[in-house]
Structure 1
Amino acid sequence: MEGGEEKPLVIVLHGPSGVGKDSVIDRLRERLGIHRATSSTTRPPRGNEVDGVHYHFLSEPEFRQKVAAGEFAEWASVYGELKGVERREIEPYLEAGQDVIIRTDVQGARTWRRKLEGAIFIFLTAEDREVLRARLIARGTEDPEQLTARLAELEEELADLPNNDYVVINRHGRLEEAVDEIAEIIEREKRNPNRPRARLVA
Structure 2
Amino acid sequence: MAGARGRRARGRADGVSAEPRPLVIVLHGPSGVGKDTVIARLRERTGIHRATSSNSRLKREGEVDGVDYHFLTPEEFRRKIEANEFIEHAQVYDDLKGLERRELEGPLAEGRDVLVRTDLQGARSLRGLLRGAVFVLLTAESREALRTRLTARETETAETLARRLAEVDEELADAPNNDYVVVNREGALEEAVDELVRIIERERGNPNREAAGVRA
| Category of TM-score, reference length = shorter chain | over 0.9
Count residues in correspondence: 202
Which residue number in structure 1 is paired with residue 54 of structure 2?
Answer: 40
Residue 161 (str. 1) matches residue 161 (str. 2) = no
Equivalent residues in 2 for 1:141-180, closer than 5 Å? 141=155, 145-180=159-194
1-structure distance, mates of 2:17, 2:122: 35
Query: Which structure exhibits the higher relative contact order, with contacts defined as CA atoms closer than 8 Å and separated by 6 or more residues?
Result: 2
Q: Do 2:20 and 2:205's aligned partners in 1 also have CA atoms closer than 8 Å?
A: yes
Residue 105 (str. 1) matches residue 112 (str. 2) = no
2-structure distance, mates of 1:66, 1:20: 31
Residue 63 (str. 1) matches residue 77 (str. 2) = yes
Residues 1:133 and 1:193: Cα distance change in structure 2 (over 3 Å): same
Q: Structure 1 regions of 5+ residues with no counterpart? A: none
Residue 200 (str. 1) matches residue 214 (str. 2) = yes
Higher helix share: 1
Q: Deviations over 1:129-184 (max 9, x none)?
A: 01112222333455554443322211111110111000001101111110000001
Residue 189 (str. 1) matches residue 203 (str. 2) = yes
Which residue number in structure 2 is paired with residue 119 of structure 1?
Answer: 133
SS in 1 for 2:90: strand
Residue 88 (str. 1) matches residue 102 (str. 2) = yes
Q: Do 2:137 and 2:181's aligned partners in 1 also have CA atoms closer than 8 Å?
A: yes
Which of the numbers 21, 30, 42 marks the counterpart of 2:35? Answer: 21
Which deviates further from its counterpart, 103-112 or 136-145?
136-145
1-structure distance, mates of 2:55, 2:158: 21
Q: Do 2:90 and 2:96's aligned partners in 1 also have CA atoms closer than 8 Å?
A: yes
Which residue number in structure 2 is paired with residue 72 of structure 1?
Answer: 86
TM-score of the superposed pair, with normalisation by structure 1 = 0.94
2-structure distance, mates of 1:182, 1:3: 19
Per the TM alignment, residue 79 of structure 1 is displaced from its structure 2 partner at its CA by 2.1
Question: Alignment RMSD, CA only?
Answer: 1.8
Residues 1:160 and 1:42: Cα distance change in structure 2 (over 3 Å): same
Percent identity of the aligned residues?
Answer: 64
Residues 1:75 and 1:139: Cα distance change in structure 2 (over 3 Å): farther
SS in 1 for 2:135: strand
1-structure distance, mates of 2:159, 2:61: 20
SS in 2 for 1:26: helix
